[in-house]
């Protein structure tokens, strides 16, 4: 598992993508394994997609989830079959849940499946957990998923001989890129390097930062800026936390003191 996890992190970082690792709750009752995930996955574009096994003591599972969330790891609960399980988790412990495929497939033919999905969605809305519907097997099922207001859905279904791909699940795993262009009053190479080092000092000091880099401009055009800061965050909330972090505020004050002009672009990807 260690080698697979490390390869997933390398691939996700190299390709600028998000990768999900499928686990069982039994995989998380090992303290050494939890410590490994905390170290390797902290602020990384990796999702732990975990299926709860009834034989796992719920208290141990909750403790493991709490530790992983402290390292800003995205947690998705897989194959949820009953609403009662969700009552064990406080708001903020789970980022998303995937409803069991049998419930989705039977939405239009089984009143119990429909009732269970409604209860799951009700709890998730209260706890601010995103919901995912998979195994959509007909137009009627798709319409019901829409009517129930699932956040995301995926998988294939057939209509006559046409295969239609439903792939709106990406949004749940989107990230935020924050780009700042800086124009310095003193744009000497020496000063540009000083500013770069001052900004990069934040890299390992603010937990919500997934990625940070600063580039120095080489374009001679008059319209060019002197530096570009590129940062990545898991969501808008983390970007806001970064913006008001005391260390970041100190850097902003420094930039203001040397009369720096800035332009900003923020977007989801």
Q: What is the pLDDT of residues 18-62, one digit of tens each?
A: 888 999 999 998 889 999 999 999 888 889 999 999 999 999 999
CA distance 113 to 107: 6
Q: Would you state the pLDDT for residue 152? A: 84
- Over the stretch 138-161, which tens digit does the pLDDT of each residue have? 888 888 998 999 988 765 544 433
CB 228 within 8 A of CB 195: no
Average pLDDT over residues 217-223: 93
More confident position, 215 or 204: 215
Please tell me if the domain spanning 2-173 has the same topology as the one spanning 176-268: no
Which helix (H) or strand (E) element contains residue 159? Answer: strand 152-159
> At which residue do the structure tokens 């332009």 appear?
263
Q: Which CATH number fits domain 176-268: 3.30.70.100, 3.30.230.10, 1.20.1270.10, 3.40.50.300?
A: 3.30.70.100
**Banded model confidence at residue 2, pLDDT cuts 50, 70, 90:** confident
- Over the stretch 98-111, which tens digit does the pLDDT of each residue have? 999 999 999 999 99
Catalogue the E-assigned strands of the chain.
19-24, 46-51, 74-80, 96-99, 130-133, 152-159, 162-167, 176-183, 211-216, 227-233, 261-268
CB 80 within 8 A of CB 120: yes
CA distance 157 to 192: 55
* CATH code of the domain occupying 2-173: 3.20.20.450
Pairing of strands 211-216, 227-233: antiparallel
User: Where in the chain are the domains?
Assistant: 2-173, 176-268
């Amino acid at each position: 598992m260690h080698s697979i996890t490390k390869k997933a992190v390398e691939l996700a970082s190299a390709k600028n993508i998000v990768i999900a690792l499928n686990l069982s709750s039994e995989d998380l009752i090992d303290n050494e394994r939890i410590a490994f995930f905390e170290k390797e996955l902290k602020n990384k574009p990796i999702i732990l997609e975990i299926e709860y096994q009834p034989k796992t003591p719920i208290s141990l599972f909750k403790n493991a989830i709490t530790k992983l969330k402290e390292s800003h790891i995205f947690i998705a609960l897989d194959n949820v079959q009953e609403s009662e399980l969700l009552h064990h988790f406080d708001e903020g412990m789970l980022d998303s849940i995937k409803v069991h495929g049998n419930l989705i497939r039977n939405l239009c033919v089984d009143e119990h499946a429909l009732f269970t999905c409604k209860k799951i969605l009700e709890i998730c809305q209260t706890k601010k957990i995103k919901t995912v519907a998979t195994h959509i097997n007909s137009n009627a099922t798709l319409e019901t998923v829409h009517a129930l207001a699932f956040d995301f859905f995926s998988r294939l279904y057939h209509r006559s001989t046409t295969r239609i791909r439903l792939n709106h699940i990406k949004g749940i795993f989107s990230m935020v890129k924050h780009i700042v262009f800086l124009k310095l009053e003193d744009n000497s190479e020496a000063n540009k390097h000083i500013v770069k080092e001052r900004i990069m000092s934040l890299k390992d000091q603010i937990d919500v930062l997934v990625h940070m880099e600063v580039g120095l401009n080489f374009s001679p055009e008059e319209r060019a800026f002197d530096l570009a800061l590129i940062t990545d965050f898991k969501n808008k909330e983390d970007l806001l936390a970064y913006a008001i972090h005391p260390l970041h505020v100190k850097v902003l004050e420094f930039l203001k003191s040397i009369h720096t002009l800035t332009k900003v672009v923020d977007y989801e990807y």
